[in-house]
Structure 1
Amino acid sequence: MTKLIVQIPCYNEEESLGITLSALPREIPGIDCVEWLIINDGSTDRTVEVAKARGVEHIVNFPANQGLAKAFMAGLEASLKAGADIIVNTDADNQYCADDIPKLVQPILTGQAEMVIGARPIWQTEHFSPLKKVLQNFGSRVVRAAAMQGDAPLDAPSGFRAFSREAALRLNVFNRYTYTLETIIQAGSKGMAIASVPIRTNADLRPSRLVRSIASYVWRSGTTILRIFMLYQPLRFFFMLGSLPLGVGTLLGIRWLIFFFAGSDRTRIPSLILAAILISIGFQLWVLGLVADLLAANRKLLEDTQLRLRRLEIEGTSGRDRDSSNRS
C-alpha cells in the first residue's frame, strides 16, 4: 500500500488554513492512502482547532515559533514515522494549486525522481514585482549550478514539492531561515534525482512572511546559498575563490619577469610584492579547500551513520504503527 502525506507548516494560519485544506485531494491515482499533517509552529490563534475541524490526521505542535526550516524537518520526521511513502509539502496560504499534486508525485511513482519541485509561472504571477521575478530567476540559476543539475529548470524558492521516503530520510536542514535552497543543493550533492514540473498558483491571500523586503530577501538568500555551497561543495568553492588572486598574481609575476629579463631600468618591486601576496592568498585558499574537503568527507561519514540510526528508529516506529492498524 502506497501512503502519501501532505504536510503543511503553519504559523497563525487560522484564516487561510481552512481554504488550503478544503482544496487538498483525498484520492490520487497510484496512491492508496492520502493523509494530512500540519506543523503548528507556535501559533497563538485557532490554527490547530481549524485543522482538527477539517479532519487533519496528524498534528505536530511546537510550544514556541521555531522557524520554517525546523517546522519542515519536523514534518518530514513525523510523516516518516506515520508510514509515508511519499511526502508532499505545501504552504498554508493556499499559494499553490492543490489540483497539481498528482502531477507533482508522478515522477516519484514512476521512479524518475526522488525529489520533485513545483515550478511556478514566475513571469506570469501578477503579485510578484518585476524585480522579484528577476531575482528569483537568477537565484534559481545559481542554486541549479551549485546543485550541479545542468540545464534542469528549477524554481528554487518554491515550497510546493514532493519527496520519496528515501529522500526524506537522507535530508538534513541546518539553516533556520528556509529549507528550499538547502534541500536542492544537498540533494544534488548526494546524487538524488531531482525533477521539476510546472504547477499553477492561486490568488494571493496574504503577504509573504519570508520576503518582508527585497533587500532582506536578497541578503538572506545570498548568504544562505553561499553557506550551503561552502558546506556541500567546499573544494569547488575554495578552488574558484583562490583561482582569482592566484591567477592575477601569476600574471603580475610573469609581467615582472618579462620586464626583468628585458633589462628594464625600473625595479618594479611593488608589483613583485603584490604578485607574491596574491599568489600566497590563492595558494592558501586552495589549501583551505583541501582541508574543508577532508572535513566534508568526515561529515558524510557522520551523515551515513545518522541515516542508519534514523532508518532504524523511524522504520521501527512506522512498522509498529502499521502492525497496530492492521490488527485493528
Structure 2
Amino acid sequence: MNPEEPDVVHPGLKLVIQIPCYNEEETLPATLADLPREVDGFSCVEWLVIDDGSEDNTSQVARDLGVDHVVRITQNRGLANAFMAGLDASLKAGADVIVNTDADNQYDGACIPVLVSPILVGEADLVIGERPIEAVDDFSPLKKRLQRIGSGIVRTFSGTEVRDAASGFRAFSRSTAIRTQVFGKYSYTMETIVQAGWEGLRIKGVDVSVNPATRPSRLVKSIPRYIWRSAQTILRSFALYKPLRFFLAIGLVPLLISLALLLRWFYFQLFTEDQASRVPSLVGAAMMFLLAVLIWMFGFLADLLSVNRRIVSDTRVMLRTAELEQLAPLAGTAHSKMGSEPTLTRPESMLRAER
C-alpha cells in the first residue's frame, strides 16, 4: 500500500471534518464545495460546522448545504474556544480522525487524503498541513518572515520539526483529540504543537496547497498585535509545559546583571586608584543574585507541579475516554483498531446535532 494514498478502507472508520466559523455565510459555500465526501481509508466522512456566535446566517447556510453537524455557540468566544468545541462534538460524533480546516477556503480540500494518510498508516498522531509560504502571493514579505521566525521558535520550544506552526489545516487521531487542551483564547495552532511535543506525541508535517484568498485574515488584523499575541501564546505554553527551562532562562537575566556589577566592582578595586565607595555595586549584585535564585526556586517548584499536571492530564484522558465509551452504545458505535490504538467508530449515518 502506498503510504501517501491508502487504498484500503478500514471497516467502520469515520472521518469528521470540522470548520470553525464566525460570520462565514458568504465563504462557507465555496469551502464546503471544496471538501470531499469520500476519502480513501474511511467508510464514512462527515462535516461539522462550529458557529461561533455569528451575526449572519452561517448556521442556516451550513444546514442548507448538507452539513451533518452544526454546533451553535450563542456568543462569540474566539477561535480557540470554537476549535475545542469542535473537537468535543467530533469525538461525540464518533470520529476516528478529525480534520480541522478554515472557513475562508484557504486550504485545498483535495489535500485531505494526504493530510490523514500518516495517521491511517500509524506514522503520526498529529499531522500539520504545511503551506508553501514563500509561494503564497497573498502573504506580504513581512508576514512570510514572521511565519518563518514564529515556526522556528515553536520548533525550539516544542522539540518538533514543524515548518508551519500557524497552519490551521491539521489532522488529529482520536486519542490525540482527547488529550488536546487549549488554555489561550486567541488561537490554538501554536499551543497545541507545544502540548503535543510535551505529551510525546508523534507530529508530522505534509505539504499542502492553498486557494486564493477570499477575505482578509481575521487573526492578523495588525502585525504588531499579531506578534504580541503570538509571543504571549508561545511564552505561556513554554512556561506551562516546560516550567524548569522557562524559569532557568528567565533567571539568567538577573544573574548576568549580578555578574556585571560584581566585575565592575572588582575592576575599580583592582585596576583604578579611585577610592570612592563601590558598596552600591556589591549590594546590587547581591540583590540580582538573590532574585535569580528566587526565580530558579519558582522554576523548581513549578517543575514539581508539572508532574502533578501530567497525572491530572492522564486522569482527564481516562475519564474522557470512559465518558465517550458510555456514549458509544447510545449511537450504535462499535470498537475497532487503527494501528495499535483503540478507537471508537460509528455507522454510516448519524442525526444532525445542534447546540
Task: Give 2:102's aligned amino acid.
Answer: D
Match of 2:318 among 276, 287, 308: 308
Structure-1 residue corresponding to 2:47: 36
Quote the RMSD (CA, aligned, Å). Answer: 2.1
Distance between the aligned counterparts of 2:18 and 2:347, measured in 1? 24
Cα displacement (A) at 1:68: 0.7
Do structure 1's residue 292 and structure 2's residue 302 form an aligned pair? yes
Unaligned runs of 5+ in 2: 1-11, 335-345, 350-355
Alignment match, 1:68: 79
- Cα distance in 1 for partners of 2:122, 2:253 equals 42
Letter in 2 for 1:322: G
Instruction: Say whether the 8 Å CA contact 1:73–1:172 is kept in structure 2.
Output: yes
Tell me, yes or no, if the aligned pair for 2:130 and 2:164 is still in contact at 8 Å: yes
Partner deviation per Cα, 1:157-181 (whole Å, 9 max, x = no partner):
1110000001000011111111111
Cα 1:264–1:2 change in 2 (3 A) is farther
Distance 2:77 2:108 in 1: 26
1:122 corresponds, among 117, 133, 142, to: 133
Shift, 1:137, TM fit? 1.0
Deviation at 1:251, TM superposition (A): 5.2
Deviates more, 1:45-54 or 1:90-99: 45-54
Q: How many residues align?
A: 326
2:180 to 171, 183, 187: 171
Q: Which of these residues, 187, 190, 215, is aligned with residue 206 of structure 1?
A: 215
Q: Identical aligned pairs, as a percentage?
A: 52
Partner letter of residue 72 of structure 2?
N
> What is the match of residue 160 of structure 1?
169
Q: Is the aligned partner of 1:196 residue 2:196? A: no
Give the 3-state SS of the residue equivalent to 1:14 in structure 2: coil
Pairs within 5 Å for 1:245-324: 245-250=254-259, 252-253=261-262, 256=265, 266=275, 268-323=278-333
1:196-239: CA deviation from partner (whole Å, max 9, x where unpaired):
11111101101111111111111111111111111111111000
Which string of whole-angstrom CA distances, capped at 9 and with x for unpartnered residues, describes residues 60-99 of structure 1?
Answer: 1111112111110011011111111100000011000001
Higher helix share: 1
Which is further off, 299-308 or 104-113? 299-308
Residue type matched to 2:201 in 1? M
User: 2: distance between equivalents of 1:224 and 1:257?
Assistant: 41
Label 1:64 to 1:97 Cα distance change in 2 as closer, same or farther (>3 A): same
Q: What is the CA deviation profile of residues 290-327 of structure 1, one whole-angstrom value per residue up to 9, with x for unaligned ones?
A: 12112222222222221111111122213431349769
Question: Does the 8 Å contact 1:80/1:318 carry over to 2?
Answer: no
Aligned to 1:110: 121
Aligned pair partner of 2:145 in 134, 142, 146: 134
Whether 1:9 and 2:20 are equivalent positions in the alignment is yes
1:48 paired residue among 59, 81, 106: 59
C-alpha distance in 1 between matches for 2:271 and 2:72: 76
Within the candidate set 148, 172, 179, 2:159 is matched to 148
Supply the distance in 2 between the matched residues of 1:302 and 1:235 (Cα, whole angstroms): 19
Q: TM-score, normalised by structure 1?
A: 0.93
Contact 1:100 1:199 in 2 (8 A): yes
Determine the structure 2 residue equivalent to 1:221.
230
Deviation at 1:258, TM superposition (A): 7.2
**Is the Cα–Cα contact under 8 Å of residues 43 and 348 in structure 2 kept in the other structure?**
no
CA-to-partner distance for each residue in 1:243-300, whole Å, 9 max, x for gaps?
A: 2322442354366457657897645323222221221111111011112112222222
Q: Distance in 2 between matches of 1:138 and 1:323?
A: 44
Aligned partners of 1:327 and 1:207: how far apart in 2? Answer: 37
Distance 1:319 1:115 in 2: 27
Question: Does the 8 Å contact 1:81/1:315 carry over to 2?
Answer: no
User: What CA distance in whole angstroms lies between the structure 1 residues aligned with 2:257 and 2:329?
Assistant: 60
Q: Which residue of 2 aligns with 1:243?
A: 252
The DSSP-based 3-state class of the residue aligned with 1:138 is helix
Distance in 1 (CA, whole Å) between partners of 2:126 and 2:64 is: 31
Cα distance in structure 2, aligned partners of 1:327 and 1:260:
83
Query: Whose relative contact order is higher, 1 or 2, with alpha carbons under 8 Å and at least 6 apart?
Result: 2
| Alignment CA distance shift 1:317-1:245 (3 Å) | same
Superposed displacement of residue 45, structure 1: 1.6
